[in-house]
Chains A and B, each alone.
Chain A
């Protein structure tokens, strides 16, 4: 009896050897994904309900505290201050990155302007150099006395600003939109060039106006990439705190002017050692990303 079972099992294994090998191929990648991505994501939720600390006794002997971390967050001055900064930063970056990317994409896809290939290569540069460089390259722009921005402002007769201190939030927004507009440019360029020219020719035969062509041909065909771009831009902005960190360091400014939510979570965990509280902020960020993504998908009707 057992022999028969083992024999038929062996038969099955032999006849499905290829498939079984392939299934084995998937296991290492899936294991790494589960250990270093899925487990931390779920663990965040668990830690956010405890009073785990980064150092000392409470690193191992933490206890369940229920919703106390969230209650603390919602009654915290720092949380709402950084929430305000985050909303300002994300909205301004979203608009600027999208509009700059759209302008660049229109140049690259238009037939009129010269030197498009070189232009596309140059427009791509800020996006592909690593993020830790961006604050450096902007030093020359933001310097108070001889920085390029203030020189331009003086030449136009406007008062120069202290970009490195009082207007730090705006500086970070400028850097971020400079670094990231190329994402919208890439997606929109490929979406615009993928629309067949025949559609416009047919519309021209029927005497369609420019607005009609835009509304009935261009917009429906680039709608999906458009929504995707907006989602990706938002996710990148709320998730990436490289610039904010480089302009802030380990201690937040007293008025939280650079404190994005992500940076706030980092500071709470690594400067105040409140790992549970930091995880609560992290989970709130994840929820915000999830909700905004769903809303954008819903509005886009995708």
Chain B
């Protein structure tokens, strides 16, 4: 009797508690984002949530054309929003090209070759990628200075690419492993050379994998903060991440923005759109890879 009663009460109340927890989680996750999107679209931005009287795209136009006006705080320096967007795009695409060009052949070789110590090599590659960035950033700075890569967007892309290559090699090797070897052997029998087999048979078959590593490496260049922080010092060469950090004022006791809130939020929204698009387009693939996002940040 007692137990039956408890059981009858327990199930619905668990569900009710579940919905309450879900609601709290939902509020926690969404309320900052709602402010971001609302402020980006409202004509007059403010640091707290309020309903705008009308919606406008002026902030986006201002940010893209670089006509951003200084805010109330310390806006002494000129703001180069349009250049920051261009720099981030450049770093993203350069990282993508370098990473795909380097890790696709390596992943193919590791998938097809058999040699002693291959497992060891794969583990070593993964471990190199797992090393904390903060342990290597100072020597990377020194190396970059000696190679003349400071304030050089291509150098930044190269360093970011070297950090993301281990993950991408693992991902693309998995895709190549799924392509049967017989496919290539048949192509050779039909008189195809090694290179044309590679370009006409293997690479098209690995297309989705190449797309995945291309997009992941683009994002890792687009969103990176630490590498530009230690390698770029001239303001017109900042990517968006450093630009956002530079207009975020943090005097003790007073935190705010050096430009108006609407423009900063518009810039943030522009910065957030490519990752969101990529993740929702590739969700199925990424769920399968599961750990694809290990170091993309």
Q: Which residues of A contact B (CB under 8 A)?
A: 17-19, 21-23, 25-26, 28-30, 32-33, 35-41, 43-44, 47, 52, 100, 103-104, 107, 112-113, 121-133, 135-143, 145-148, 162, 164-165, 178, 183, 186-187, 190, 232, 235-236, 238-242, 245-249, 253, 261-262, 265-266, 269-270, 275, 278-279, 282-283, 285-286, 289
Contact = CB atoms under 8 A, between A and B. Distances in A.
The prevalent SS among residues of B at the interface is helix
A270 B101 CA distance: 33
B63 interface: no
Interface in B7-31: 15, 18-19, 21-22, 25-26, 28-31
A146 to B, nearest CB: 4
Contacts of A265: 134, 137-138
16 contacts: A29-B102, A29-B169, A35-B162, A40-B143, A41-B128, A107-B22, A133-B36, A133-B268, A136-B248, A143-B47, A148-B49, A178-B29, A178-B32, A261-B134, A275-B142, A285-B132
CB-based closest 6 A-B pairs = A130-B223, A36-B162, A25-B105, A29-B106, A140-B35, A146-B48
Interface residues of B, number: 92
A148 B31 contact: yes
A139 B272 CA distance: 17
Interface of B: 15, 18-19, 21-22, 25-26, 28-33, 35-36, 39, 47-49, 98, 101-103, 105-106, 108-110, 112-113, 125, 128-143, 158-159, 161-163, 165-166, 169, 194, 222-223, 225-226, 229-230, 240-242, 244-245, 248, 250, 252-257, 261, 264-265, 268, 271-272, 275-276, 279-280, 283, 287, 290-291, 293-294, 297
B109 A285 contact: no
Contact of B135 (A35, A140, A286): A286
B294 A232 contact: yes
A140 B250 contact: no
B48 A37 contact: no
**Residue among A23, A33, A253 with the most chain B CB within 10 A?**
A33
Contacts of B291: 187, 232
Nearest to A238: B132
A33 B129 CA distance: 9
B132 A286 contact: yes
